[in-house]
Amino acid sequence: GNSVTQMEGPVTLSEEAFLTINCTYTATGYPSLFWYVQYPGEGLQLPLKATKADDKGSNKGFEATYRKETTSFHLEKGSVQVSDSAVYFCALSPRNTDKLIFGTGTRLQVFP
Amino acid sequence: SQTIHQWPATLVQPVGSPLSLECTVEGTSNPNLYWYRQAAGRGLQLLFYSVGIGQISSEVPQNLSASRPQDRQFILSSKKLLLSDSGFYLCAWRGGGSTNEKLFFGSGTQLSVL
């Protein structure tokens, strides 16, 4: 079946630290992969996506590369800010469907 | 602008009673519609999704069902609630097609089955 596994949080970092949130997936075929972010009191927003192997999604300093060989889509940012504090969800959409399957979410807390 | 309405916000129901949660979307047409359950440690679990009127896909076997009687209306139902149906239910929509991935959520329904 299709599933997403991401690291448990919370992830606690100081401002300007390097961020990695791991995400691996199980899917038949080649799904599209996404990272969504949920800021406190708001809905989910789409920071980035990748639709095929070796694609790199990027948005506002965040990056993730679609790695078919390791079935991963880790989220990275070189220097986090306090305003990046949120819950991050890795998600996949199986090829040729409109399903969106989410991981459990990882809470990021950035302190000044 | 597009908005999504979900009600009720909270609901307390006895075991064995029926359930109907309603979700409507305004300001868009032919949206993809989703029902999720959010539980601690399990994140957002996809329950049902729909790409059009009368088209429902079920993701997990369970005591719940979904219907889409109109383009912008999505209903989550149960004939007889179980204790395990308690949780926080979220309706969501996004535009059809691969270019529309932004997902909009309703405000959620906290369901307690006693």
For the stretch A52-62, pLDDT in tens is 889 998 988 99
Pairing of strands B73-78, B65-70: antiparallel
| Residues of chain A falling short of pLDDT 50 | none
Q: State residue A1's pLDDT score.
A: 83
Interface with A, mutate which of B103, B104, B107 (most A CBs under 10 A): B103
Q: Say yes or no to pLDDT of B12 above 70.
A: yes
End-to-end CA distance of chain A: 41
Residue A36: its chain B contacts at CB < 8 A? 103
CB contact under 8 A, A98 and B43: no
In terms of C-beta density within 10 A (0-12 exposed, 13-18 middle, 19 or more buried), how is residue A62 classed? buried
Which tens digit of pLDDT belongs to each residue from B90-100?
A: 999 987 655 45
Contacts of B40 (CB under 8 A, 6+ apart): none
At B111, give phi and psi (nearest 5°).
-105, 125
Q: State the Cα–Cα distance between residues B93 and B74, nearest whole angstrom.
A: 10
Q: State residue A17's pLDDT score.
A: 97
CB contact under 8 A, B105 and A43: yes
The mean predicted confidence, pLDDT, of chain B is 88
Q: State residue B101's pLDDT score.
A: 62
Helix (H) or strand (E) holding B113: strand B109-113
**Exposure on the CB side of residue A78, measured as CA atoms within 13 A:** 4
Which tens digit of pLDDT belongs to each residue from A36-49?
A: 888 876 667 777 88
Whether B103 has its CB under 8 Å from any CB of chain A: the answer is yes
CB contact under 8 A, B103 and A104: no
In terms of C-beta density within 10 A (0-12 exposed, 13-18 middle, 19 or more buried), how is residue B43 classed? buried
Q: Say yes or no to pLDDT of B82 above 80.
A: yes
Q: State residue B60's pLDDT score.
A: 78
A25: β partners? A4
Q: State the Cα–Cα distance between residues A38 and A45, nearest whole angstrom.
A: 6
Q: State the Cα–Cα distance between residues A71 and A4, nearest whole angstrom.
A: 10
Placement of tokens 């299709």 in the chain: A2
CB contact under 8 A, B44 and A102: yes
Q: Say yes or no to pLDDT of B40 above 70.
A: no
